[in-house]
Structure 1
Amino acid sequence: MQQQRQDADGFVYVSLPQLMKLEHRVRGLSFQGRQPLSSILSGNHASRLRGRGLNFDELRRYQPGDDLRHLDWRASLRYGKPFVRTFTEERDRPALILVDQRMSMFFGSQRSFKSAAAAELGALAAWMTFHAGDRVGGLVFNDNRIERISPIRSRSRVEALCAAIVRQNQALSASQPDAEDDDQLDKVLQHCLSMAGHDHLICIVSDFAGAGPRTLQLLRELSAHNNVIAMQVYDPLALKLPASGRVLVTQGELQVELEVERRQVHQPLGEFLTGRLKDVATLLRRSQVPLMMFSTGEDALEQLRREMGRLTGAPR
């Protein structure tokens, strides 16, 4: 059993007991089934989630009341009598939860760090899919390591995924240098593509730092035969810098304190942060993958309920 950090308060570092307790907070939430009209997952457009897949069962003679859409014309013409294909619905489907714990996530100006918010969202997504009767697995990654958890329908598999999230989350430190290789996200998506065949539910929780044309291509390939949901975690600084005060910017061991009231600091820094957030959001929307955006300044579960259209007057 892995040791837990004493400073795992859920805002900078998370703990395994904390993620396991989230099971009881996801009641009434589901990625599947009928969604409220305000939900990001509703509507007849490219971002709508498919239902569970159908497995071919048998070919048999047509019986009154059979769905004519299931007529097998080749068999019917061959035997001179109508034949239909019958199908059984899959009992469950594999779900892959991808959770980003890179150094780009180890930052927060309000409430929690992006890494902690992503850890919580990853656990919430895992519990939601588990209670939907689906198999749960995933990929947890930092700048140079990818942990793979194969999908199985069991509570212990959810715990294994949460343990991997906690392990990588608690290994983060301001003394760690950022990775020179910035294509780790694409490597993870490529790895996911090799794991996911058809009809997987894939939930990606990340700030999507380093996303580019290759990321867009991989997302499109993944979503061609699977249900893909993007959960973009961002810091409120990306929307609006404070008018005064100081902002500590870190790059591995390098730390720089900037006076944001100075015009030559405030304007370019604000334009960079806001522009980067918009660029990533635009790229994700171009992939036609449903996009949910989560601020580190608010409770992750409440935002998830709002994004799913479960709260009254949800703004969509």
Structure 2
Amino acid sequence: MRDRAARTRSGLAAQSSKPPSVDDPRVQVSLEQLRAFEGRARALRFLPSQPAASVFNGRHASRLRGRGLNFEELRNYLPGDDPRTIDWKVTARTGKPHVRIYSEERDRPALIIVDQRMSMFFGTRHAMKSVTAAEIAALAAFRILDQGDRVGGIVFGDDFAAEIKPKATARARDQFLSAIARANQMLRADAPVVGTPTPLNIPLETAAKIARRNHLILVISDFDGIDEKTGSLVGRLAKTNDLVLCPVTDPISQEIPAGLKLVVSDGNLQIELDTASGETHRSLSEYASGRLSEVLSWQKTYGLPVLPLSCGEDTVPQLRRLTGLAPNRKRGRQ
């Protein structure tokens, strides 16, 4: 079973005295809601210089390479120069110590891939996965542009696709946020059933054509429908770019309650699942945990950062923890 097939989305109702509506920001996001994350994005970092507890730090299994270096000049060694910058070949040829001077590459392109398929329109606590993904993307877009890099992205759903080329302009960022909001608002429990869900491999292939090398690429998805080709594409992108995977999960995937009854439908046929059955409970648990395990295995295989996020809690505190930042006590948030 894939949770893209679930058309009864009632998990959030347990948190409130009334069922959530399409006007509920936990169910669907607006452009104004995404723009409101600008101030909260300033403390986040998507650069290789990270706090010790960050998943991007070199002490961990994976890290970001960061921006490239541009050669500036070759000159005589001066007191105070880093000995590691000495060009030993030129020094040997001239008989005098010389150093190579580099400057950090600016205006680095970043590509944010945001999943807004029907599989993301699911949530049992706090928010839908699609909402959490949209918030992560907005935070990343604001922070990346603020640190002087180009920002663009690929937003895709089962019957929606938008490609925004990376540019260092607020207009490109706003186009990206608008595309996310449009795709998100197309997700409804009574939405028409599409023939075949869009596989994640399609936007990954598009990213491979755009990001030949030295891009920062964030993939924000529940990674529904991944296969062997997905792993190959992930490895290809990670080889020449800084690739960050952000799997978005629902708390129920961590521990499926026993005795839970679910009515699942594809819009035409429906079936009732009762987790009181040991076999049903075991099958659902294995499926839910298997997808995340596959994504985490890529972290070890390709040496790339993985930021697992849950739609069961506020997005900003999670990102702060994962990037090694202290709790934001001033705002009364974790």
* TM superposition score category, shorter chain reference: 0.7 to 0.9
Match of 1:95 in 2: 110
Match of 1:147 in 2: 162
Deviation at 1:97, TM superposition (A): 0.9
Contact 1:285–1:291 at 8 Å: present in 2 too?
A: no
Contact 2:117–2:197 at 8 Å: present in 1 too?
A: no
CA offsets 1:143-191 (integer angstroms, 9 cap, x no match): 3543111111222222111100011111123333355366x31121121
Consecutive unaligned residues of structure 1, counting only runs of 5 or more, are 1-5
> Which of residues 211, 231, 234 is equivalent to 1:219?
234
Letter aligned with residue 192 of structure 1: A
Q: Separation in 2 of the partners of 1:74 and 1:9?
A: 65
Counterparts in 2 of 1:103 and 1:57: CA distance versus 1, 3 Å: same
Q: Separation in 2 of the partners of 1:226 and 1:240?
A: 34
CA offsets 1:233-282 (integer angstroms, 9 cap, x no match): 01122111122342232435444332322334323222322333323333
Deviation at 1:110, TM superposition (A): 1.9
Match of 1:11 in 2: 26
Q: Separation in 2 of the partners of 1:28 and 1:225?
A: 27
Counterparts in 2 of 1:85 and 1:38: CA distance versus 1, 3 Å: closer
CA offsets 1:213-239 (integer angstroms, 9 cap, x no match): 222222222222221111100112211
Match of 2:183 in 1: 168
Letter aligned with residue 248 of structure 1: V
Contact 2:70–2:102 at 8 Å: present in 1 too?
A: yes
Match of 2:206 in 1: 191
Deviation at 1:83, TM superposition (A): 5.6
Secondary structure of the equivalent of 2:179?
helix
Q: Separation in 2 of the partners of 1:304 and 1:237?
A: 20
Aligned pairs (5 A) from 1:80-119: 84-119=99-134
Matched, 1:62 2:76: yes
Matched, 1:262 2:264: no
Counterparts in 2 of 1:61 and 1:311: CA distance versus 1, 3 Å: closer
Query: Which region of structure 1 is more displaced relative to structure 2, 111-120 or 216-225?
Result: 216-225
Secondary structure of the equivalent of 1:126?
helix
Q: Separation in 1 of the partners of 2:101 and 2:293?
A: 47
Match of 1:3 in 2: none
Secondary structure of the equivalent of 2:135?
helix
Counterparts in 2 of 1:246 and 1:64: CA distance versus 1, 3 Å: same
Deviation at 1:21, TM superposition (A): 0.4
User: Over the residues paired in the alignment, what is the CA RMSD in angstroms?
Assistant: 2.6
Match of 2:246 in 1: 231
How many residues in Structure 1 have an aligned counterpart in Structure 2?
A: 305
Match of 2:58 in 1: 43
CA offsets 1:25-60 (integer angstroms, 9 cap, x no match): 1232111253222211113455211232211234x4
Contact 2:77–2:86 at 8 Å: present in 1 too?
A: no
Counterparts in 2 of 1:216 and 1:264: CA distance versus 1, 3 Å: closer
Report % sequence identity.
Answer: 42
Q: Separation in 2 of the partners of 1:310 and 1:110?
A: 25
Counterparts in 2 of 1:74 and 1:239: CA distance versus 1, 3 Å: same
Q: Separation in 2 of the partners of 1:56 and 1:111?
A: 49
Contact 2:123–2:129 at 8 Å: present in 1 too?
A: yes
Match of 1:281 in 2: 296
Match of 2:15 in 1: none
Secondary structure of the equivalent of 2:303?
coil
> Which of residues 112, 125, 135 is equivalent to 2:150?
135
Secondary structure of the equivalent of 2:200?
helix
Letter aligned with residue 64 of structure 1: L
Deviation at 1:119, TM superposition (A): 0.9
Secondary structure of the equivalent of 1:205?
strand
Query: Which region of structure 1 is more displaced relative to structure 2, 44-53 or 78-87?
Result: 78-87
Normalised by the length of structure 1, the TM-score is 0.85
Deviation at 1:96, TM superposition (A): 0.9
Q: Separation in 1 of the partners of 2:76 and 2:222?
A: 53
Letter aligned with residue 9 of structure 1: D
Deviation at 1:205, TM superposition (A): 0.4
CA offsets 1:280-309 (integer angstroms, 9 cap, x no match): 333454332211111111111121112112
Q: Separation in 1 of the partners of 2:63 and 2:262?
A: 40
Contact 2:48–2:57 at 8 Å: present in 1 too?
A: no
Query: Which region of structure 1 is more displaced relative to structure 2, 297-306 or 213-222?
Result: 213-222
> Which of residues 313, 319, 327 is equivalent to 1:304?
319
Contact 2:61–2:300 at 8 Å: present in 1 too?
A: no
Normalised by the length of structure 2, the TM-score is 0.81
